[in-house]
Amino acid sequence: MSSQKSNVVAIIVGAGRGVRAGGDVPKQWQALAGRRVADWSVDAFLNHPDINNVVLVHHPDDAAEVATLPTSIAKCVGGETRGQSVLAGLEFSERFNPDQVLIHDIARPCVTNAMISDCLEALRHSSAAALGVKVQDAIWHSSRNKVSHTVDRTRLWRAQTPQAFAFNQILQAHQNQNHDAKDDVEVAREAGIEVTIIDGDDSNLKITTPSDFLKAAQILRGNMDIRVGNGFDVHRFEDGDHVILCGIKIPHEKSLKGHSDADVAMHAITDAIYGALAQGDIGQHFPPSDPKWAGADSSIFLRHAANLASEHGYTIQNIDCTIVCEMPKIGPVSLEMRENLSKIINLSTDRISVKATTSEKLGFTGRGEGISSLATATLVSK
């Protein structure tokens, strides 16, 4: 095998309806351990260093939910059957010119970095590989709800995903398929492709029934490192005609005084992220004594904090920011603020809160001498 690094695409199949799981929406969009099933499954591949592109195959009715996923993943509409959806994902992925592909069911949110790596390692020596778990329980064959005989379980495995393939081989196999196979291993086998079995794990369960949500949540919470940080900042007013809050320029009779652009809200959010990481504050990373930060756009600080979180193995899950002032009015521009923060840290707006309150005319904010802001950030290990 060549030592050159392969171009790998991960296709996450999520166009099904999953009616057996219950709920008012398809199972992939239901809540699980503080997120949605789809969020867990997508992030597992998005955060793996050897995956070049992630493609989500979705149902056409799920456009609104899909729009809230990270913009770095590609999306395409699936078909009426699983096989049609996989084929749609494979043909869509041709634009990335991949060497290898991992195909994963979106309803397996507990897949780990190690499982993905095992699949990729197997592809170094095989054209196809898939996770499986050896059957341990006794297996019965039934007739009219009666046990007719016991099945030898010695060579039986329970199939899991991801299932990994040389891209062109599995694409051609799917294009030649004339019936809806149970999974992609079946498609590969019918095309004459040998598939290597990799030891999977019971934790990589597929959510099928309502009780599976509780099992998956217990697994995911056991693997999570959750951190919470707080940030607080104050800036006094000086002569001027606008303030900058969360990167948005707001007309006002005064401006905020500071070494940078004095964005008191963004500073609080940035410090909240640093706090969750136990990495000090803005002043330690961007000293006010350094003239190069004079008048600097505070998005530089926030983006640095977000990148630092990623480098330490965390994703930002939630930001909550409160701005304390009598004026200017924050409500009319709060959505614009959230959208701007979303672009800077690549976090969907439904995970960002920006709100305002007054101090009831008390203290320096009540006297109109300045603005304060406090923020909380929640980080979760990848």
Give the closest residue to 117 by CA, choosing from 181, 172, 164, 56. Answer: 164
Whole-prediction pTM: 0.64
Given a cut of 90, whether residue 69 has pLDDT beyond it is yes
The residue with greater pLDDT, 230 or 180, is 230
Q: Mean pLDDT over all residues of the chain? A: 94
Burial of 225 (0-12, 13-18, 19+ CB in 10 A): exposed
What mean pLDDT do residues 6-29 have?
Answer: 92
pLDDT at 248: 97
CA distance 123 to 318: 37
Predicted confidence (pLDDT) at residue 2 exceeds the cutoff of 50? no
Q: Is the peptide bond before 251 cis (omega within 30 degrees of 0)?
A: no
Show the domains of the chain with their CATH numbers: 8-223 (3.90.550.10), 226-381 (3.30.1330.50)
Query: Sign of the C-alpha dihedral, residues 25, 28, 30, 36?
Result: negative
Specify the pairing of strand 242-245 against strand 157-166.
unpaired
pLDDT at 3: 55
Preceding peptide of 328 cis, ω within 30°: yes
Q: In this predicted structure, what is the pLDDT of residue 221?
A: 81
The pLDDT tens digits for 76-133 are 999 999 999 999 999 999 999 999 999 999 999 999 999 999 999 999 999 999 999 9
d(CA 240, CA 331): 22
**How many C-beta atoms surround the C-beta of residue 47 within 10 A?**
15
> pLDDT, tens digit, for every residue of 191-207?
999 999 999 999 999 99
Q: Are 246 and 355 in contact (CB under 8 A)?
A: no
CA distance 295 to 110: 45
In order of 99, 153, 155, 370, the CA distances from 90 in angstroms are: 12, 34, 31, 56
Report d(CA 7, CA 18) in Å as an integer: 31
Residue type for 283, please? Answer: G
HSE of 30, CA atoms in CB hemisphere, 13 A: 22
